[in-house]
Amino acid sequence: MPAPTILHATFTARPGAGDRVAALLRDFAEAVRAEPGCDVFDATRLVDAPDRFFVYEEYRDEASFQAHLANPAGSPVNAALQELIVEPHSQLTFLQRV
């Protein structure tokens, strides 16, 4: 059985853009969860720093993750997000289940 692809992304909304980022992620999460091979897509805000976001993702395998990356629905979301966050891009951390 292939290993799942697991990652998290973190990023910070620009001042005043936190609610727009949250709405964008809420809509995108619904679409991603419907993708074949997506087991988990959870977008959250930090309670003590609501402009900081944490997205946790699990895909059945690397092929499912690559299909997610190739999905054209992600491009406009990523472009919109890019304008709303402080960092040049979200910081990705890949994980391995133990």
Arithmetic mean of pLDDT, 51-55: 98
**Does the residue 37 lie in any domain?**
yes
**Does the residue 91 lie in any domain?**
no
**Does the residue 20 lie in any domain?**
no
pTM comes to: 0.94
Give the amino acid at 18: G
**Does the residue 75 lie in any domain?**
yes
3-state secondary structure 19-38: HHHHHHHHHHHHHHHCCCCE
pLDDT at 1 over 90: no
The answer to whether the CB of 41 falls within 8 A of the CB of 25 is: no
**Does the residue 79 lie in any domain?**
yes
As a whole number of Å, the CA-based R_g of the chain is: 13
Query: Tens of pLDDT along 16-28?
Result: 999 999 999 999 9
Residue 77 domain boundaries: 25-48+65-85
Pairing of strands 52-59, 91-95: unpaired
**Does the residue 30 lie in any domain?**
yes
Arithmetic mean of pLDDT, 77-91: 95
pLDDT of residue 6: 98
CA dist., res. 25 & res. 68, Å (int): 15
- To the nearest 10 degrees (0 to 180), the angle between helices 74-84 and 18-33 is 160
How many domains does one find in the chain?
1
**Does the residue 36 lie in any domain?**
yes
